Structure 1
Amino acid sequence: MNGYQVIKSVAERTDGLWRPGPGSVYPALGLLEDEGLIQPEDSDSGSRKVFALTDEGKAYVEAHADELDEPWDKVTSPHQAFVDLQREVGQLGAAVQQVAIGGDEQQIAAVRSLLVETRKTVYRTLAGDSGTTVTD
């Protein structure tokens, strides 16, 4: 796997929530190579340096599997909730856009007021305010 493939793989694995940049991936690959955990291998990918785990790298991965899974667990466990909420925000944005384009002054003012109150309610919910009611 080369650096670009690492970047692409992380982005795909997290559905775009985390996309490391070349400035973090390539130095990390260099450190892993210096530590003997990965090594360049011959490839047909032209100028791109392709890496593979060394025997020492494979042993490290086996010995530290739980530790290496932890960052992925943190990124992917709340992931579905984020996707669900993001979808709702997108639908709300589309409705607000309709009002902004075709609504009269009274409708626009009413929607603005609803948005302000909704934002406050979201923060109260996050703070654990027991007076908050959530309905469909």
Structure 2
Amino acid sequence: MDRHFPDGERGHGRGRGHFGAGGPGFGPGAHLGRGRGRGGRGRRGDVRAAVLLLIAEEPMHGYELIQQIVERSGGVWKPSPGSIYPALSQLEDEGLVIIDKVAGRKTARLTADGVAYVAEHKADLGSPWDDVRDSVGAPEQDLRELIGQLMGAAGQVAAVGTPAQVKAAADVLIEARKSLYRVLAEDGSTDAGS
């Protein structure tokens, strides 16, 4: 069986040979691929636990795993393909996961050993998406929401605005960036006029 992922799903060129089963911190119970993806000051997520818990519910391919983690963490944690696919490969090496081709996509499901492992370690696996979400305080979450709204508005102007509107929006974004740096430079002061 070809155990490599298709080029579009491999994740930043990291192949299976990069991680050995005997490497430091690997093996059943090890925390693999701790990474929260972009942004946030929350603690890093336990990719290995998240993958095991999600595919215990139903078989999934890598993109579905990423989507589920983003959704369950309230958008706070978005692991990269470069953390998901090595985690899947390691779990496959451990005999906890098997990768099958389903509808043209490499889809992971638990083996019998994997089902037993998840049942036995359910408390240890916890709820990694909740852990990451809870580690990000309310002000950071509010700022993320505002950033998302700003990006949405800028995207709308870029998509349907006239050249003059696009130029005006660019000026607003440039000024917003400068203002944010002034906030930091003023040691927490929000007076952007100085």
Match of 2:69 among 2, 6, 10: 10
2:123 corresponds in structure 1 to 66
How big is the alpha-carbon RMSD for the aligned residues of Structure 1 and Structure 2? 3.4
Cα-to-partner distance string for 1:8-29 (whole Å, 9 max, x where unaligned): 2111211221111111111110
TM-score (structure 2 length as normaliser) = 0.42
1:15/1:59 CA distance change after superposition, 3 Å? same
Aligned mate of 1:49, from 97, 106, 110: 106
Give the match for residue 83 of structure 1: 141
2:79 match: 20
Structure number with the bigger relative contact order (C-alpha 8 A, sep ≥ 6) is 2
Query: CA offsets, 1:57-93, max 9 Å, x none?
Result: 11111111121115333213245724346558999xx
User: How many positions carry a matched residue from both structures?
Assistant: 101
For residues 30-79 of structure 1, the C-alpha deviation after alignment (integer angstroms, 9 at most, x for no partner) is 010111111123411x1x21111111111111111121115333213245
Q: What letter corresponds to residue 83 of structure 1 in structure 2?
A: Q
Q: Which runs of 5+ in 2 are unaligned?
A: 1-59, 150-171, 177-181
Task: Select the structure of larger CA radius of gyration.
Answer: 1
Could you tell me how far apart the structure 2 residues matched to 1:53 and 1:87 are? 35
Give the one of 76, 81, 97 matched to 1:38.
Answer: 97
Q: Which amino acid aligns with 2:95?
A: G
From 22, 29, 33, give the equivalent of 2:88: 29
> Separation in 2 of the partners of 1:9 and 1:49?
17
Alpha-carbon distance in structure 2 between the residues aligned to 1:90 and 1:30: 33
Tell me the TM-score normalized by structure 1. Answer: 0.57
**Does the aligned pair in 1 maintain the 2:61–2:108 contact within 8 Å?**
yes
Would you tell me which structure has more helix in proportion to its own residues? 1
Matched-pair identity in %: 44
Q: How much does 1:5 deviate? A: 1.2
